[in-house]
Structure 1
Amino acid sequence: MSKKALLLFLFLVSFRLLPQIDSGKSLQFENNGNFRIGLSYDPLPALEPLNIKPEFPKPDYLLLGGLGTAYLGSIAAIHLYQSNAWWSGRTGKFRVIEDWDYALWVDKLGHFYSPVILAHGFSVGLEAAKVDYGTGIWISSAAALLFQLYVEVYDGFAQDWGFSTGDAVMDVAGAAYPVLQYYYPVLYNFHPRFSYWPVKLGKEGHNPGQNLIVVDDYEGQKFWLSMRVNNLFGKGFEKIWPDFLMLSVGYGVRDLDGRGGGKSDFYIALDLDYEQIPLYGSFWQMLKNSFGFIKFPMPAIRINNGVAFFGFAF
């Protein structure tokens, strides 16, 4: 047999050994020892489509009932406090007021931060009750907003106060922030935080019968926005900035006189990223997320008609 015939024979045999698939073609041999070149087309049978139905855990309705009871109880407790501290005066027709600069804006920051923290608390409960995370974000934010607006509406009937459009706008913004973080994850790099050191806690307020609690002790409050520097500026920044450090800007007030006077303080401070703590699991993650709303005491610079350095600002 010549070399050319041998090569042709091997070539044809190799075609015979190829698998016959849907898009492939093979050579056919006759049984009498002779061979002929032909094409065949043997498709595989079509696969049946998989009908997979994902199963989601059913919500824990007993726990949801407990959360609802706690929610209503919290509203009742706030109502009792507000009735004694803020609504004890004359009531009348609903009215709207503009008080954006009340307490030098620290009150408005509080109205932004409060629904953010409330929404987190509600979402933790909903997650424990096995509610879908995305659905839980919407429900918890809506519940936080209703909680805040309930107080605003009652303020509207108090003749010494009124429905504050500034408060309502900041309530809506704060309740919307967790939803925006869910849809725009880059916002998780901007974390609202709060710190408090008692200044007038328990003292009599400007309203008769009012003893100040934490939310009314404006001079003891500071509101912060802590940022994950490396996530925002890229990996090249990691050479000079450790992952566990955040950069925070803050605001606080002093010497409020109840008539619009006082001093505003701005802060630039370091902060800790609790996500970098090497503790893992759902419980530890919940704790890290919850403590993530509290500003850790760290070195800071206060700016107010000059610059002052603090070893620890809280």
Structure 2
Amino acid sequence: MDDGTLHTIGDLARLTGLTVKTIRYWSDAGVVPPTDRTPAGYRLYDQAALDRLGLVRTLRDLGIGLAAIHSILSRKVTVAEVAAAHAEALEVQIRALRIRQAVLRAVAGRGASPQETELMHRLATLSDRERRRLVDEFVDHVVRGIDADPDFTAMMRAATPELPDDARPEQVDAWVELAELIQDEDFRAGVRRAVADQSRTLAEGGRPDPEAARRTAALLRERAGGALAAGIDAGSPSARPIVDELAAAYAKLAGRVDGAEFRDWLAERLEISHDSRYERYWRLLAEVNGQEAPPALAPSVAWLTAALRAG
């Protein structure tokens, strides 16, 4: 209850636990003006000023600046409006801090040099739009001047890395490696060769049935992967039945007749289109987006290619 008592700055400091310096500063800023002054010019504050001081303290604890507090107390804006704007700004700051924390942990984990640390920080703090632009530029480069399969191009553009606000160090690491990979000229040239080869193959033989293609890839992973696990050398007699089975499956998929000419053709297609770094691209993308990585196919492809060449 307000009994009309007036308080000095010293009284307010004792009642609130704030320092005299802080109260004087807020008073000079106009957010807690004095109610009156003594004949000697010392400031005096009533109960309303004490209540106002409590609100200012709460708002400052929430990180709201004095200019915004002045607008609230002057009824120019509401507390809710200021809180909403401040919460949005804090979201940006929190995201930046989380990314910074993840970068530091990734740097510590990989023992990065100063140059690597600078690169990691620069890449990790790119916005979602900047990351998309980096991927779009990569896709533009690899399909430029090539009559690329529209479905393939659309798939590449849709596969955008989305680094979460609470990214783990492994996700930051994966994004940095992915960004470095798509800017690597040798990798880009290899993808262009694969895209051009795919375009020629489709023009010559038409588009294979997607479900049949998935079944053939699964068979390759099962049979060639099993051969690798069993330690079967690609050039050994034990590899022949496996190669025959897989070559027949690929011939059916391509609408061609199995034989020496087809197997040379298939080996060349596999060599061009299955660089291990392509698979690495998709695995890194899955890591960044917090998704399950696709099953590894590159070792199986390498084994079958070697077996076809050993023919």
**Superposition TM-score tier, normalisation by shorter sequence:** under 0.3
Richer in helix (by share) = 2
TM-score of the pair, normalised by structure 2: 0.21
Higher strand share: 1
TM-score, with normalisation over the residues of structure 1? 0.21
